[in-house]
Amino acid sequence: MIKVGVVGGTGYTGVELLRLLSRHPQVELVAITSRGEAGMAVSEMFPSLRGRVNLKFVTPQDAALDQCDAVFFATPNGIAMQQAAELVAAGVRVIDLAADFRITDVAEWEKWYGMKHAAPELVAEAVYGLPETSRDKIRKARVLANPGCYPTAVQLGFLPLVEAGVVELGNLIADAKSGVSGAGRKAEVHTLFPEAADSFKAYGVPGHRHLPEIRQGLTRFAGQPVGLTFVPHLTPLIRGIHATLYGRLTKDVDLQALYEQRFAGEPFVDVMPAGSHPETRSVRASNMCRIAVHRPQGGDTVVVLSVIDNLVKGAAGQAVQNLNIMFGFDESTGLDIVPVSP
Amino acid sequence: MIKVGVVGGTGYTGVELLRLLSRHPQVELVAITSRGEAGMAVSEMFPSLRGRVNLKFVTPQDAALDQCDAVFFATPNGIAMQQAAELVAAGVRVIDLAADFRITDVAEWEKWYGMKHAAPELVAEAVYGLPETSRDKIRKARVLANPGCYPTAVQLGFLPLVEAGVVELGNLIADAKSGVSGAGRKAEVHTLFPEAADSFKAYGVPGHRHLPEIRQGLTRFAGQPVGLTFVPHLTPLIRGIHATLYGRLTKDVDLQALYEQRFAGEPFVDVMPAGSHPETRSVRASNMCRIAVHRPQGGDTVVVLSVIDNLVKGAAGQAVQNLNIMFGFDESTGLDIVPVSP
Amino acid sequence: MIKVGVVGGTGYTGVELLRLLSRHPQVELVAITSRGEAGMAVSEMFPSLRGRVNLKFVTPQDAALDQCDAVFFATPNGIAMQQAAELVAAGVRVIDLAADFRITDVAEWEKWYGMKHAAPELVAEAVYGLPETSRDKIRKARVLANPGCYPTAVQLGFLPLVEAGVVELGNLIADAKSGVSGAGRKAEVHTLFPEAADSFKAYGVPGHRHLPEIRQGLTRFAGQPVGLTFVPHLTPLIRGIHATLYGRLTKDVDLQALYEQRFAGEPFVDVMPAGSHPETRSVRASNMCRIAVHRPQGGDTVVVLSVIDNLVKGAAGQAVQNLNIMFGFDESTGLDIVPVSP
Amino acid sequence: MIKVGVVGGTGYTGVELLRLLSRHPQVELVAITSRGEAGMAVSEMFPSLRGRVNLKFVTPQDAALDQCDAVFFATPNGIAMQQAAELVAAGVRVIDLAADFRITDVAEWEKWYGMKHAAPELVAEAVYGLPETSRDKIRKARVLANPGCYPTAVQLGFLPLVEAGVVELGNLIADAKSGVSGAGRKAEVHTLFPEAADSFKAYGVPGHRHLPEIRQGLTRFAGQPVGLTFVPHLTPLIRGIHATLYGRLTKDVDLQALYEQRFAGEPFVDVMPAGSHPETRSVRASNMCRIAVHRPQGGDTVVVLSVIDNLVKGAAGQAVQNLNIMFGFDESTGLDIVPVSP
């Protein structure tokens, strides 16, 4: 049993983290902070947690986070980098669900995120927490950068192809579609129901912050620079990401076998049978990533379909998976959720 | 550990039952029958169950259901009544999620369901499985009639008022709204996405099959005949029922206290704080019923808001709750699911 | 051809008004004001209007509204009451889509709207613009109070019953359901897509601002005080209101004939055949109100189903209908829109 | 004024055609056929058409279609090819909204559509009705093959690039997303609301019938064979297609100018300002196609975003546009619909 705190529990990744942690048998949830809502019962803001989470929001000062074994940051970008050093110094292991520690190149990070980084030295030691590629490093991490939602779906989808060196690396395409919860629980016009329902659009085509994160990952897998076009879209789902990935094959290879072997034994990656089309609802509310790989009409274009729940495997679930690895728990602890379908 | 079979696992209540039973620690799922799909892996039809349910659909003949401790019928109306007697004779306890055993008055049942009843003698002994009113009978039931979705939300909402005798009984109104999964997984035009999305309608105003079921329950609570107007509506939700209930008060009573006392200790009924407006998503995918009670402007009309997930507390979850009671398990076994919100 | 201005064109009633006015053959749209967006092309904010509305938003000062024949206020409550007097003095006819002039009892208005009324003298002369009850007054109105969305659906639904005096007046019930656009185009958390999609809730049960407006209307129809319980709900539609109305009959009457006669010749009220269940999509994007009347099981409860598009007959369309009446155009001018279904 | 008949008016393209034709000032709608529904009032099946279409469905035998000037086939594939010859012989001009006459290579058609073609000689003379490329031929067509929904969005999006010869032709990618009405008004499980709502999936990745149609069109534009990967997806919209198109540039070219020039004067193609992201709702219920063209980070990949309403520009609207061209009406007659947004 470890003591866990959550900084910023009022957004979608925050409440999802609470859903998962509230039934994690190895976790004692000791504090949930929110400056704005301090004093309010968590279950008043989130009635779905009535009887499950009996804490109130507290201010960061009152949270005694330095007494925790682990602290999650479910905050906007730019918060964790200001508070992590002190916690790490106190022996607390930090898991950041925002982007502060995801990009190793600090200058690149500052360009895309539009602010000065407050803790570049922690960026250097932070571990990028994609379990399927970095379990050993995650185990020892003091600062864990939890991957973004699009980056999780896209990297897992491309991973076998890029590692195996069977596609042209200069010209990969990721056409990704996200549910609206990916935009966060912020009062904004463009994500109101009447704006986002029954409509579909691309956004950020000139450049999206997840592009450098994905490119960094793919470059690591390949051991050389990778060219990527990344187009995100907003689709009328509450939860779910569907990434459709395109590459040109440079070798004739048994794609199905390649994927099955690469992910054999992975608890949260499911390679579907050949010919499958995974639906986002098949992973709804669960930490699973389901992948199918196609080669239409036997041509030289490979098409990969990769689906996750953006709030689980794309955020809070993967964060708990990383916590499990960091503390030596079974990797699936607290994550044994059967997807909710329909 | 008991052996459990499911007859008719291809509809929404069937797949929901499989979601719940697949993680029930006291249940071994031994057979799932479907004439039409025999031989197909369950997880091929329902990819959300990949790695969770490893059975194939079998024909009823191949299912050896008489070796089970309990058998669920997640079938259309009129099936369980034909097969229950043989199973009961073999010592199997039967839980019917359809309507075959819900209405005690067989003639009334035959009128509303448009067929001759095949097992009136079992109707006589069957127990109506609303745990909040009948735990003792449920414990010993050989044939359990699992309540309908609307009847669960409406009866729980009216229960304290009617039992306490504080409303006019001749003139109750239940204005209920259901998600589309309540119509079942049948190929029909009126529940296609383009028909049911972004639209709202009442249906069955002249008379709906759940009317006699609700009226029977309310009459039992009251000990005298009850007059009810029941208007169901279809709303663009996948899951969820919201019942808005109206009655005229005949006494001045502390409504909040009345409800809190009636449901004190109930694991699956949550009386919300005074002034609340429960949302269906606050119970999504869980077995919880949340209720709020209002008296607008202090007048003599009481308004009760009652929400459930129609596939869980309104069907499969309540069936598992009944199973737990019948076999002496803790009532929440396998039902410790935190609602999925957003 | 008349000159028309719109104050506050950035909300949902505003853009809907622009959709309708842009193809109204008797209207020249001369100015659309928005303090916040002055200088921006209207079609930049609303790409659906590209090629249809070529104006830019202007500040109220630059709008020369006093040169218009008519000005619509599609503003929040409390704006029109400050500006109407000056326009009226300049001979401009004012149509307010907000609530400033709807409630004759100024003290009552101030209680529900939480502000001091700035123009009580205009309230006295303002005409409540429900065409089906007040055409003659509308024709001559200088200040037109355009009815609210719920009040339109509920009043039209109850009108024949209350006028004919065939229901108990002390105990009417209106259970109404609205799409999310009814909450306006404001950046708020509770109407975000992930909050409002796939969920259903009641709100404002203790008291909603449309209650006094509806009660005032019903009282006028009846010629005596009317008791009403009004419960609004939020349902995952973009557009649409469905009102389910309940009353106790005091006389045996041919309800179908009563409704058909009352609305005979009305261009925008469609009494459906007996036994019908109107869907909100059957009026989507149009100015039609469709009504069905039921008497379940021949009892003494009458159930009326009334549907409108909240942005059209419940706001902008009814405002244009009123404009047509005020200026002597055919009442359907610019409103000959076939509902969009599916 | 011309006499028009519709064969097969019970599907989504049929009812949409009726919506448009019912207010077309040059069209007298004389017959709507449906074997299954003969005798039923059209407005009984489609209440949105009450007061707009006063015809009943008739059998084909009773329809006297040979007295019409034009007949639309809004039928499943394989019907028009059996009936067109007789109508053409009678001097009737035929517009087929299905696929019977779209593919010039009859063997290719038979392979993809799985049936023997009944009228190959009409295929030879049929005109593919994409107005933006073929107005002159359309004017004289006796048999008009109305393009498919995906093919319209994809061909219009690629047209300027391919005609101008500025992209690699061997490796184009079309990632397209469609609303569920594209699947038709057929009773099927996979398009039920609980299956298709709040979920997203690709389908037909190994091969979709619209692939040969699009490839044929692009090959015509290019004057040489074109290689295309086409991946369709189902997204929870009622209406709307969003095509995201990818190509590799072979020349440095002003993409914005290229698109604006190619579509200058087109009444139903709107090239959005540089940097735009068109939403499907910006064309909802209208015949418009909106296109934006991007070159992310100035690289050599061009990304085109193309949106249409699949039932209008992707079906019934384009069919009416073709009718207008064929009969010398203004091309926008009956199509002056402002998109419905929100």
Q: Can you give the C-alpha Rg of chain D in angstroms?
A: 19
Do C165 and C300 fall into the same domain? yes
Same structural domain, D162 and D301: yes
Q: Which residues in chain C have Cβ-Cβ distances shorter than 8 Å to D276?
A: 47
Q: Of the listed D32, D74, D149, D245, which one is catalytic?
A: D149
This model of the complex carries an ipTM of: 0.97
- For A199, the closest chain B residue by CA position comes to B198
Which chain A residue's Cα is nearest to B197?
A198
Residue B227 touches chain C, beta carbons under 8 Å? yes
Instruction: Give tens-digit pLDDT for C216-226.
Output: 999 999 999 99
pLDDT digits (tens, 9 = 90+) for B293-339: 999 999 999 999 999 999 999 999 999 999 999 999 999 999 999 99
Taking residues A30-36, what's their average pLDDT?
A: 95
Cβ neighbours for B265, distance < 8 A, ≥ 6 positions apart: none
B10 lies within 8 A of chain A by CB: no
Q: Which residues contact D139 (CB under 8 A, 6 or more apart)?
A: D325, D326, D328
- D154's CB contacts (< 8 A; 6+ apart) are D174, D176, D210, D214, D230, D243, D245, D306
Name which of B168, B210, B229, B308 to mutate to probe chain C: the one with the most chain C Cβ atoms within 10 A of its Cβ.
Answer: B229
Query: Residue C254 contacts by C-beta under 8 Å, 6 or more apart in sequence?
Result: none
Q: What part of B 185-224 touches D (C-beta under 8 Å)?
A: 185-189, 191-198
Q: Is A88 helix (H, G, I), strand (E, B) or coil?
A: helix
- Chain D residue with CA closest to C20: the answer is D338
CB C5 within 8 A of CB C57: no
Partners of D235 on chain A (C-beta within 8 Å) are 177, 200, 235-236
Which helix H or strand E contains C5, and what residues bound it? strand C2-7
CATH number at residue A184: 3.30.360.10
Asked if residue C339 is part of any domain, the answer here is no
Q: What is the pLDDT of residues B254-270, one digit of tens each?
A: 999 999 999 999 999 99
What residue type is assigned to position B286 of the chain?
S
Candidates C205, C209, C238, C306: best to mutate against B (most CBs of B within 10 A) is C205
Q: What is the pLDDT of residue C314?
A: 98
| Cβ distance of B206 and C342 shorter than 8 Å | no
How far is it, in rounded angstroms, from Cα B42 to Cα D311?
36
Q: For residues A139 and A324, what is the distance between their CA atoms, to the nearest angstrom?
A: 9
Q: Which two tokens stand for residue A63?
A: 């949270």
Q: Are residues C168 and C299 in the same domain?
A: yes
CA distance C338 to D50: 9
Neighbours of chain A (3+ CB pairs under 8 A): B, C, D
Helix axes D317-326, D12-21, angle to 10 degrees: 50
A167, A201, A283: which to substitute to probe chain D, counting the most D Cβ within 10 Å? A201
Instruction: Looking at the structure, tell me whether residues C300 and C163 fall in a common domain.
Output: yes
Cβ distance C277 to B242 less than 8 Å, yes or no, reads: no
Shared domain for D80 and D41, answered yes or no, is: yes
pLDDT band per the 50, 70, 90 thresholds, residue C331:
very high
Contact C301, C237 (CB under 8 A): no
Predicted confidence at residue A317, as pLDDT, reads 98
Nearest alpha carbon to residue A331 among A127, A138, A51, A64: A138
For D181, the domain range is 149-310
Q: Is B20 helix (H, G, I), strand (E, B) or coil?
A: helix
Q: What is the pLDDT of residues D282-291, one digit of tens each?
A: 999 999 999 9
Catalytic residue numbers of C read: 149
Q: Output the CA torsion A184→A185→A189→A190 (10° steps).
A: 20
Contact state of D279 with C47 under an 8 Å Cβ cutoff: yes
Closest chain B C-alpha to D27 CA, distance in angstroms: 28
Q: Which of B22, B238, B283 sits opposite A342 (nearest CB)?
A: B238
User: Are residues A157 and A257 located together in one domain of the fold?
Assistant: yes
Last residue of a domain, one of D71, D92, D125: D125
Place of tokens 């958390």: C189
pLDDT the model gives residue A328: 98
pLDDT at residue number B81: 98
Estimate the crossing angle of helix B149-164 against helix B255-262, to 10 degrees.
Answer: 120
Distance from CA of A181 to the nearest CA of B (A): 8
* Structural domains in chain A (count): 2
Distance CA B316, CA D143 (A): 55
**B167–chain A nearest CA distance, Å:** 29
Separation of first and last alpha carbons in chain B: 34
The answer to whether C189 contacts A194, with C-beta atoms less than 8 Å apart, is no
Average pLDDT over residues B85-97: 98
Smallest CA–CA separation between B170 and chain A, in Å? Answer: 34
Distance from C-alpha of D158 to C-alpha of D229, rounded to nearest angstrom: 13
CA distances from A223 to A102, C87, C113 (A): 18, 71, 65
Inter-chain residue contact A236 with C197, CB threshold 8 Å: yes
Give percent of chain A above pLDDT 70: 100
Contacts of D195 in chain C (CB under 8 A): none
Mean pLDDT taken over chain B? 97
- Around C340, how many Cα atoms within 13 Å sit in the side-chain half-sphere? 25
pTM: 0.98
Q: Are residues B117 and B165 in the same domain?
A: no
The residue of chain C nearest to residue D271, with distances taken between CA atoms, is C50
Letter for the amino acid at B151? P
* Residue pairs spanning B and C at CB distance below 8 A: 143
**Closest Cα in chain B, distance from residue C239 (Å):** 8
Crossing angle for the helix pair C210-222 and C149-164, nearest 10 degrees?
20
pLDDT tens figures, B126-143: 999 999 999 999 999 999
Answer whether A197 sits within 8 Å of C193, measured CB to CB. yes
List residues of A with catalytic annotation: 149
Query: In this predicted structure, what is the pLDDT of residue C98?
Result: 98
Record: contact C192-A194, CB cut-off 8 A: no
Q: Which two tokens stand for residue C1?
A: 């051809």
> Is position D136 within any domain?
no
Arithmetic mean of pLDDT, D240-262: 98
Residues C228 and C121 in one domain: no
Neighbour subunits, C (≥3 Cβ pairs < 8 A): A, B, D
DSSP state of D11: S
Q: Do the chains contact at C238 and D342, CB–CB below 8 Å?
A: yes
Give domain status of residue C65, yes or no: yes
Mean pLDDT of chain C: 97
Average confidence (pLDDT) over A258-270: 98
| A56/A33 Cα distance (integer angstroms) | 8
Q: Does B12 touch chain A (CB under 8 A)?
A: yes
pLDDT in tens, B140-188: 999 999 999 999 999 999 999 999 999 999 999 999 999 999 999 999 9
CB contact under 8 A, A48 and B341: yes
**Residue of C111, C191, C201 to mutate, interface with B, max B Cβ within 10 Å:** C201
- Residue indicated by tokens 């502060």: A100
pLDDT in tens, A300-341: 999 999 999 999 999 999 999 999 999 999 999 999 999 999
Do B174 and B305 fall within a single domain? yes
CA distances from A251 to A164, C137, D171 (A): 10, 80, 17
Residues D6 and D116 in one domain: yes
Among candidate residues C109, C125, C141, the one where a domain is terminated: C125
In a domain, A333, yes or no: no
Together in a domain, A101 and A193? no
Does residue C20 lie within any of the structural domains?
A: yes
Q: Give me B67's structure tokens.
A: 């070796």
Q: Are residues A301 and A209 in the same domain?
A: yes
| pLDDT at D62 (0 to 100) | 92
Nearest to B194 among D194, D195, D238 (CB): D238
Unique residue bearing structure tokens 């067509």: D141
What is the mean predicted confidence (pLDDT) over A249-267?
97
**Structural domain contains residue B341:** no
Q: How far is residue B296's CA from residue C229's CA, in Å, rounded to a whole number? A: 7
Residue D237 to residue A305, Cβ atoms within 8 A: no
Nearest to A244 among D171, D231, D296 (CB): D231
pLDDT confidence tier of residue C160, bands split at 50, 70 and 90 = very high
Q: pLDDT tens digit string along D92-132?
A: 999 999 999 999 999 999 999 999 999 999 999 999 999 99
- The verdict on a CB contact (< 8 Å) between A48 and B285 is no
Domain-located, residue A199: yes
Looking at CA atoms only, how far is residue A57 from chain C in angstroms?
A: 18
CB count within 10 Å of CB A186 equals: 12
Q: CA separation (Å) from D38 to A286, D59, D117?
A: 49, 6, 27
Q: Which amino acid does the sequence have at A29?
A: L
Rounded CA-CA distance A232/A210 in Å is 9
Neighbour count for residue D137 (Cβ, 10 Å) = 14
Q: What is the distance between the alpha carbons of residues B165 and D163, in angstroms, rounded to a whole number?
A: 79
* Look-up of token digits 């003698």: B121
- C228 in a structural domain: yes
CATH number at residue C111: 3.40.50.720
Neighbours of chain D (3+ CB pairs under 8 A): A, B, C
